[in-house]
Structure 1
């Protein structure tokens, strides 16, 4: 495998100098706030009072980064660098500083002693930069603070991006996580003709915070079998001697990129898109490589003690002296000139311009983002003349719209799902595309092909990671999922929200397409799956994110869903969650009505209200398709039993409108809110999710005390659709009872209304237990 003397002695000397410079800058970021070049004896006041950061993985990252730069210089490749061990930020920042990109984007961090001092002080320091490779890190699309997502992000970046290679460094601790273990299989979805390539680099340095890593403690052959079993051809680089390691890494990089080139050329010239065996590098180096081997008589280098701060008590004069000796072991005077700039001969090892990994436009995807060519959503409208008389599957209608989004945007839009595209009624897209699949395909398979814009794998983590990588490199997409199981990616969405927030504060970061999530097969229509599939809590999770990026939409029918979908696909820097059922359901609004209704995100449905020109007795409000149906059915019962009861019917599409305008950009002013919901009338609110969320959104409103919310009460089972709402008191009969009990002037009728409700609920239970389906008056109910 090795090409002996691939690098000359002079080149090895230069490579060591770059590596030493990167290591020196990395340690300086962790420990120092002054005296950056150690031009005077190191004193305690030169060091940081709080030592935060991770050294253990950093020298290995610096080594890999250097050798990728050689490939770029010699081959003119476009390479993006992903550091799975996000804790290695000191190294990634150091490399971007050596390349000059850091100074270009942050001019105050100059290429001299003054700039170096600022570089050191800002790391993990108040008012500075975080300890992970976050949005402020040039060239980064991966934060890495939570481990497991680097490889899925890498693959998301190269889909439909044929000229890009992503070098993805995977920490051996990270490799133990479930999301990372699944994401190895992303290679079964790569088309070498139309996609780029991912080069996984497993950084095998042996230890986590206080334990060994699994992959470092299995046999060499077992590790080979594992990586080959995932579908990769491993190339090993291991040696403790840096000079030898430079030669071996240079050879490994050549081998890997030669293989990638051959695979892509074979696909692109010979039209061979069969699944190849992609290369992967296994890089074994000591934990904390080049730090002191022992401290206070205890093993540090090549052990878990090097994982974070090799030694932290700098008030101990011996430790302070040891730090100075460690940093001087890199011979900074041979690396940086009198002013503190890296010597030109060393700096020349970096590529130029946009070829630098820290300046690659894919690392700032908003630079590459172009708007989608969206069809006019109005042309897919459900035609209707009477409210609630047309029955349709809203997401099936949405599928027609998405079909033409895909048709119009063949290389910049993905529809992703964990094996649920058909189940979610989005089948129409297969009129213009196939499912991407580069494993074995049988003649009888359904829409599997090497090229397509639908991607499905039964791993919510991987789907989410793919989409994030795709968005962060300038493209667009939508992720559809069963509502109950979107929770699997709670923490991933949390991390993405934090990324968006941090990116918005970085001047040179450009907006990216929004993370669009469709939740269907929702809590109220899990007819055959039951309690395990009944959970609407993801809404609560997203609402807790910062208002500038969180959006929740609950369209009650197909026409509002079309409008909301089009709006979300146009947006940027948002997390848009759309909740819409897939089952046949009544359609309420014409397209013209839907447009007017969605303009403010909520509004009065005049055709379902009877309070115009007078004061309402009660507000019946709703958010969500099933709650809307039940709220309308309750309203109709009251129209019949107490026709003089004045009802104002309000539907909410954009949940964030319930917040005040100083809490959320979509929030209503208090004046607007009071005009709709009054300041003293009872509000019976039928809501899709957990009732407490509505209370938390409207707590500042003057009429908050009069809101009475019906929603999911954590009651569920395998049962009929109507019985699900009955179990949770969201049904029309419970709503009727609550409404009548809140209007004082009807207290004399409460007994009879309550009796009616009890009788109906008993009748319902007897019927479903005998026939296994809902009563005809429930199934066939229509608004009249």
Structure 2
């Protein structure tokens, strides 16, 4: 555990460098959505250079790339470990662009090389049959969260942070996603996050005022109401707002530094015997225009900053010469000749801004749980067998035996020493499901005040009970994908609340298995993202808000 960090200078040269990196990410994002040829604009843009069908989401992407850019700088400055979870998952082209710039994408997919041919392949594969989806997916390096599966970003972030004491999970929450029930419930993370043994979650609530076809509740809410809401859930919000990119870069860099310093202080105090019971964890509230730096108006209609920027702001570029010209000017506004060298690779000054090795957000092993997985110690099943003297004369609750088995798993895998790599996730039903033997080895996890009437409640408990199937299932999914073991228990009727999550998680594992198989068979065009299955052995202000201000969202 490192000591609290000190404030770091952010020079004008640093701002210019990060602005250039951000411009490259934005350029590649737009190029993926629109271009099938002439991807670096080495000649005038023509209709035949445009994809026949335009699919993708631009609106949230600039904000996601800005966060990525400054996380890169912060990781390099602090040598800390971060995982990036993006709730607005339809910002898929932004995450692909950033992992390409940092070099991870080409390492995993050698046919997407760091040159003009690689940029062409990168663009042609996007949202194309046989290519990659328009959202963040298992194919996206550094990802454990499926784009478009709205509502589960924060619960996945928490699951990855549990038992990862040196990890910080930066989790962008779109203001459209924030309207879902699971996300609303997920703000309760501080009641379950132990600063001694767990990592941290840094929520970044991205407000750009709009989802796919209208405004968002939090996007139109005042800073005062948002601050009251978050502080009531255990968070201390830091507000960043603006539409001037360089001003926002400076403001967000300062907010990120402040937030990480606060996280470090909380953990440092707890790990030195001075825990702040019920203390507030930092969160960032980021307000930027939807579709930032894209077309401001199209056909006389305001687009930037509105829901019209959500997907494809210029939809008629193959048929409408004015739209084609506007797209060309949009792409040229990022000055691609300064971003890519003569071979078509990102210039070295941009590539040097990324962290190195496993510190890169796209290469972190915490998104690649198979690399971290330690075998779970399980006693021989004969220890849990029942003696049946004669048929029809023995009565026994089968789940009671499962509880005894999990009790021993806890005991044999470090729970007695306050650690471990196994957790039970159950929505307030551990005892009613007859699994209560686990309480002989551990308690329910609880970071808030306790009374003498509470049963089996402790800050270091390893049974995760919260009355939400969504949270329990989401915590488990991320706990597994980041390299640990666990079990989700519920009644058969209530389990249906989270069945869509289970189906999505199963699809994720299927794609992960296919990618791993492709990698081992050495098929270059499907080179694998090594998500090995976990199951296999301008304004920064303090929390004093402004009341006179009134989103990033993810559409379906």
Q: Do both share a fold (TM > 0.5)?
A: yes
On the 8 A contact 1:238/1:284 being kept in 2, the answer is yes
| Structure 1 partner of 2:452 | 443
| Structure 2 partner of 1:255 | 258
Distance 2:331 2:479 in 1: 40
**Aligned with 2:322: secondary structure?**
helix
**Does residue 59 of the first structure (1) align with residue 62 of the second (2)?**
yes
**Does residue 462 of the first structure (1) align with residue 483 of the second (2)?**
no
Q: 112, 115, 119: which one pairs with 1:109?
A: 112
| Structure 2 partner of 1:324 | 328
**Aligned with 1:198: secondary structure?**
strand
On the 8 A contact 1:5/1:247 being kept in 2, the answer is no
Q: 518, 522, 534: which one pairs with 1:513?
A: 534
TM-superposed deviation, 1:5: 10
| Structure 2 partner of 1:22 | 25
Distance 1:216 1:275 in 2: 28
Distance 2:279 2:380 in 1: 41
On the 8 A contact 1:273/1:450 being kept in 2, the answer is no
Q: 335, 360, 372: which one pairs with 1:356?
A: 360
Distance 1:355 1:133 in 2: 20
TM-superposed deviation, 1:291: 0.5
Q: Which has the higher contact order (CA 8 A, sep 6+)?
A: 2
Distance 2:8 2:460 in 1: 42
Distance 1:69 1:510 in 2: 22
TM-superposed deviation, 1:4: 11
Q: How does 1:284-683 map to 2 (within 5 A)?
A: 284-314=287-317, 315-410=319-414, 411-506=420-515, 507-514=528-535
Q: 187, 210, 213: which one pairs with 2:213?
A: 210
| Structure 1 partner of 2:161 | 158
**Aligned with 1:505: secondary structure?**
helix
- Structure 2: where are the runs of 5+ without partners? 1-5, 415-419, 516-527, 538-556
| Structure 2 partner of 1:201 | 204
Q: Any idea what the Cα deviations from partners look like across 1:171-215, whole Å, max 9, x if unmatched?
A: 000000000000110221010000000000001011001110100
Q: 14, 31, 34: which one pairs with 1:31?
A: 34
| Structure 2 partner of 1:187 | 190
Distance 2:532 2:141 in 1: 15
TM-superposed deviation, 1:509: 2.2
TM-superposed deviation, 1:270: 2.4
**Aligned with 2:206: secondary structure?**
strand
- Which of 416-425 and 504-513 deviates more? 504-513
| Structure 1 partner of 2:524 | none
Distance 1:319 1:4 in 2: 45
**Aligned with 1:468: secondary structure?**
helix
TM-superposed deviation, 1:275: 2.9
| Structure 2 partner of 1:93 | 96
Distance 1:360 1:409 in 2: 25
TM-superposed deviation, 1:271: 4.8
Q: 1:39 to 1:77 in 2, by over 3 A?
A: same
**Aligned with 1:21: secondary structure?**
helix
| Structure 1 partner of 2:139 | 136
Q: Any idea what the Cα deviations from partners look like across 1:125-174, whole Å, max 9, x if unmatched?
A: 11100111100000000012120000000000010111111000000000
Alignment RMSD (CA, Å): 1.4
Q: 1:20 to 1:140 in 2, by over 3 A?
A: same
On the 8 A contact 2:138/2:531 being kept in 1, the answer is no
On the 8 A contact 1:84/1:170 being kept in 2, the answer is yes
TM-superposed deviation, 1:14: 0.6
TM-superposed deviation, 1:388: 2.2
**Aligned with 1:169: secondary structure?**
strand
Distance 2:282 2:189 in 1: 14
Distance 1:199 1:464 in 2: 20
**Aligned with 1:391: secondary structure?**
coil
Distance 2:428 2:130 in 1: 44
On the 8 A contact 1:235/1:252 being kept in 2, the answer is yes
Distance 1:108 1:329 in 2: 28
- Calculate the TM-score normalised by the size of structure 2: 0.91
Q: Any idea what the Cα deviations from partners look like across 1:436-470, whole Å, max 9, x if unmatched?
A: 01111112210100012211000000001100010
Distance 2:13 2:464 in 1: 48
Distance 1:510 1:152 in 2: 19
Distance 1:364 1:234 in 2: 30
- Which of 355-364 and 392-401 deviates more? 392-401
| Structure 2 partner of 1:655 | none
Q: Any idea what the Cα deviations from partners look like across 1:568-617, whole Å, max 9, x if unmatched?
A: xxx67xxxxxxxxxxxxxxxxxxxxxxxxxxxxxxxxxxxxxxxxxxxxx
| Higher Rg | 1
On the 8 A contact 2:367/2:531 being kept in 1, the answer is no
